Amino acid sequence: MVTPSFIAPEDCDAVAELLRAQLEGLPARSPLYADLFAEHGVTPAAFSSLEDLRKLPFTSKQMLRDSQAAAPPLGRHAGVPMSEIVRVHASTGTTGRPSWVGVTRRDAAAWTDMVARAFRTMGATREDVVLHGAGLTLFVGGLPIRDALERIGSTMVPIGTGASEKAVLALETLGVTALHSTPSYARYLAEHLRSLGRDPKEFGLRKIFVGGEPGGGEPAFRAHVEQEWGAPVTEGLGNADMAPVLFGEAPGSGGMRFTGGRHVVVELIDPESGEPIDAEPGASGELVYTSVDRECCPLVRFRTRDRVVVTGLTTDGAPLIRCIGRTDDMLIVLGVNVFPSAVRDLVQTLHPRTTGAVQIVLPEPGPRVEPPLCVEVEWGEQPGERDQLSREIEGLIRTRLSVRAAVSLVPPGSLERSEMKSRLTRLAG
């Protein structure tokens, strides 16, 4: 069965019953879903078991943007009035325009439950002092992470972003045991420390929790971060529109398992056909989420655009996954799908001859790109002969990713660094 594979067997009946109740009341409180169900000729009565989810239509991010434009501020899918909202978050996506996400008191409690479960899975304990190096404003990886770490009993140091000097002070004085950030910031902070003449290992971190972007699961990128800090990396995966963290990686497990409990139903689909895929080892597809008990902004079969691969199964048969990129970031070069994060990981294997920083330069917006794929790569402290290095990188991309590339080497520090999510592509000019 496709959908229940992400849910603990003992939870399937309870989740189905909760979802049935959610769907029955949804058209009355969400004009978006009243119209969407009518357009597709379905009613909540079509749902009687988790396998019946495939009978219902998908929800896209563009639908949510259109919904909010038609009925600001929270949209025709909001489900509750603003008077019921205790907090508002946002995701900017690729357009730069905020997409607002309202949270009721009950929704916030559910988020805390899910995120705390994920961080416990990733290794957080009440003995940890966690330096939080992610945004604390509208970003769902901010305040909800604080709530979850406080639930666990960890000591949280809320540095946020844009304050690396304070992060260094915290590392020096507070006995920090763990870092939580995007993968980009974990590398950025290590580089910042080295620019000060400090070795990141001297601070004695024992855990690094990452999320918010692909990277934590890229083998070479992860190995570099672990080597820099002398600490293991575990990652989490979530979605601003559904929940901050829904998957968490247990140390040494080789992938992230679903930690959303009874609050969210997960499907794996073929991103082209939309057909369900069995979450078996080796399978690859797009994650789709349905909220089970959400009050504000309940979503049905929401297409996340997160492309994942199933790396294995836990001892109790639950799928383990890695996120390999976003389908809306993917480039297509002569019919070959290329994720920018995969290019970065290949370049990272050549550290210290490269710094690991890359940017793909596009002549026009993707996803289709005429070869060669133009890639800028920073040379490292020991690049060797640069023409040879660029040819070697081109060969790696051709051999591993099956596309022709033109690599330009640039000096260390010349490509954009980010304390949040790294931008791996840019338009020429």
pLDDT at residue 332, as a whole number: 83
Rounded CA-CA distance 414/374 in Å is 16
Query: Do residues 208 and 235 make contact, with C-beta atoms less than 8 angstroms apart?
Result: no
pLDDT at residue 93, as a whole number: 52
Q: Delimit the CATH 3.40.50.12780 region(s) of the chain.
A: 1-327
Assigned superfamily of 331-427 = ANL, C-terminal domain (3.30.300.30)
CA dihedral for 387, 389, 394, 395, sign (positive or negative): positive
Place of tokens 């959400």: 294
Query: Do residues 406 and 374 make contact, with C-beta atoms less than 8 angstroms apart?
Result: yes
Given a cut of 70, whether residue 4 has pLDDT beyond it is no
The pair of structure tokens assigned to 297 is: 């902004």
Region 224-244: mean pLDDT is 96
The predicted-structure confidence for 332-371, as pLDDT tens digits, reads as follows: 887 677 888 889 889 999 999 999 999 999 998 888 888 8
Q: Give how far the C-alpha of residue 73 lies from the chain's centroid of Cα atoms, to the nearest Å.
A: 25
The predicted-structure confidence for 314-330, as pLDDT tens digits, reads as follows: 998 999 999 988 877 88
- Of 279-283, 290-294, 392-396, 423-427, minimum mean pLDDT range: 423-427
Q: Check residue 402 and report its DSSP letter.
A: -
Q: Delimit the CATH 3.30.300.30 region(s) of the chain.
A: 331-427
pLDDT, averaged across the chain: 92
37 or 335, greater pLDDT: 37
Place of tokens 């297409």: 303
Alpha-carbon separation of residue 70 from 65, 75, 379, 395 (angstroms): 9, 7, 49, 50
Alpha-carbon separation of residue 422 from 152, 211, 246 (angstroms): 29, 12, 22
- Determine the angle formed by the axes of helices 219-229 and 340-348, rounding to 10 degrees: 50
The pair of structure tokens assigned to 95 is: 């357009």
Give the residue among 177, 117, 183, 123 at the shortest CA–CA distance from 148: 117
CATH topology of domain 1-327: Rossmann fold (3.40.50)
- Please return the burial class of 377, using the count of CB atoms within 10 Å of its CB with bins 0-12, 13-18 and 19+: buried
The predicted-structure confidence for 259-276, as pLDDT tens digits, reads as follows: 999 999 999 999 999 999
User: Which residues does residue 291 pair with via DSSP β-bridges, in sequence order?
Assistant: 264
pLDDT at residue 382, as a whole number: 78
Q: Coil, strand, or helix at residue 372? A: coil
